Structure 1
């Protein structure tokens, strides 16, 4: 199996919305973004699938060394070998790949965030940085596009947090800021016990409104000159926003006991429509 095929399989197995946005890209761009996505999945899986925190930290440190190997021209893992041809060609910053690992490691040390500003820092590392790297891969002619990419990454991560509240609670994690739980009078115990209260519904409606505002801000920040090169990001935005709309329509309190996901056919339809209308 080639490094590119390894990354392709990793992306396909995830069933992620990101995978659908890659389908229409030119081959070289698709290989680069798929390798980046596979890298993110690898380091995310370290945290999600390793039950011993010490083992997870050791593995993340291995990945930090592997990033160093990549930039020294000696990658060992299929993912970094797939990334290698694109690093110099696209000037992908080494520090940003390391920041993604730093963000994943935060899940080993922090299960609560006191304020939204604290949560934003986590979201920046695990999502906005990925947005910045992705934008570079797709093609940037105006630096304002990086503002769009950073905001869109934050919107994506907030959508993930909203969608996965119940799933995260089963892992003992609550990403919703403590300050906002208190404002809406939602005890952490209610979330950990999956209680669909009216206060929790109001809290989640507030989270959805914030995510929707970030999508609007991101799209308004995208310069017209880069709209076509960034179509893959717009596809992701369409799928994520549709997911958010479904959660809102279904009842935002239900995220505690069910994980809403769009069907593959609907994702493909949204991808096709957004790509050709962008």
Structure 2
């Protein structure tokens, strides 16, 4: 199996919404973003699959050395070998790759976050910086596009957190800020034991409104000159934003199930926004933010 085939298999198996956006890209950009996403999956799997935190730290430390090797021109892992040709063409930096590993290590250091600023920092490390790297691969002219991409990545991550409250609780984690739980009188024990207490719906609506605001801030920050190049990000925004609407439609029943969109619906949303240049999701986000 070649490094490119390894990355393609890793990405396809994940079932992520990102996969649907990759399908529409030119070959060079598709190979680059697939390699970047495979790297993210590899370091994320370290935390998800290692039950021993000490072993997980050793593995993440190895990935740090592999990042160094990547920029020295001698990576050993197939993911990094696949990523290497695109370092210079798409401005992939060592600091941003290391920031992703820092985010994964945060999962080893804490299972709770005091407030939104603390959680936002985590979201930037595991998703916002990925958005920034992705924007470089998709292509941009205006540096403001990086701000858009970072905010959009944070919105994606918060949407994931809302969707995965139950799954995360079964792993002993609660990403929703402690200050938010206190505001709506939701106890950690209720979430950890999958109990829908009186304030849970209000808490989730509050978090969804925060995500809506992030989506709106992101699209408002996207310069018109880069909208066409950034269509893959807008395609992903269409999928994630629709997922957020689906969770609300299901009345925030996320403690006992994982709400998701069908592959066909994801593909339809991706294609529609590719053809329409992202206009559809931009209108969708603005309408949702105004009505929330």
- TM (normalized to structure 1)? 0.99
Query: C-alpha offsets along residues 180-206 of structure 1, whole Å, 9 cap, x if unaligned?
Result: 100100010000011112301100000
In 2: Cα distance, 1:73 partner to 1:212 partner: 41
In 2: Cα distance, 1:68 partner to 1:143 partner: 26
Task: Give the structure 2 partner of residue 109 of structure 1.
Answer: 109
- Write out aligned runs for 1:119-268 (5 A): 119-252=119-252, 254-268=253-267
In 2: Cα distance, 1:215 partner to 1:94 partner: 27
Task: Give the structure 1 partner of residue 52 of structure 2.
Answer: 52
- Write out aligned runs for 1:63-82 (5 A): 63-82=63-82
Task: Give the structure 2 partner of residue 84 of structure 1.
Answer: 84
1:30 and 2:30 correspond = yes
Q: Report how many aligned residue pairs link the two structures.
A: 277
Query: C-alpha offsets along residues 50-99 of structure 1, whole Å, 9 cap, x if unaligned?
Result: 11101000000000000000000001000000000000222211000000
* 1:88 alignment partner, SS class: coil
- Write out aligned runs for 1:8-23 (5 A): 8-23=8-23
Task: Give the structure 1 partner of residue 118 of structure 2.
Answer: 118
* 1:80 alignment partner, SS class: helix
In 2: Cα distance, 1:225 partner to 1:109 partner: 41
Q: Structure 2 stretches of 5 or more lacking a match?
A: 278-292
Moved over 4 A (4+): none
Q: CA deviation at 1:122?
A: 0.5
In 2: Cα distance, 1:228 partner to 1:104 partner: 32
In 2: Cα distance, 1:59 partner to 1:154 partner: 25
* 2:267 alignment partner, SS class: helix
Query: C-alpha offsets along residues 140-196 of structure 1, whole Å, 9 cap, x if unaligned?
Result: 100110110011011000000000000000000000000110010001000001111
Query: C-alpha offsets along residues 4-43 of structure 1, whole Å, 9 cap, x if unaligned?
Result: 1110100000000000010000000000000000000000
Task: Give the structure 2 partner of residue 276 of structure 1.
Answer: 275
Task: Give the structure 1 partner of residue 285 of structure 2.
Answer: none
* 2:126 alignment partner, SS class: helix
In 2: Cα distance, 1:114 partner to 1:10 partner: 34
- Give the alignment's Cα RMSD to 1 decimal: 0.6
- TM (normalized to structure 2)? 0.94
In 2: Cα distance, 1:267 partner to 1:153 partner: 18
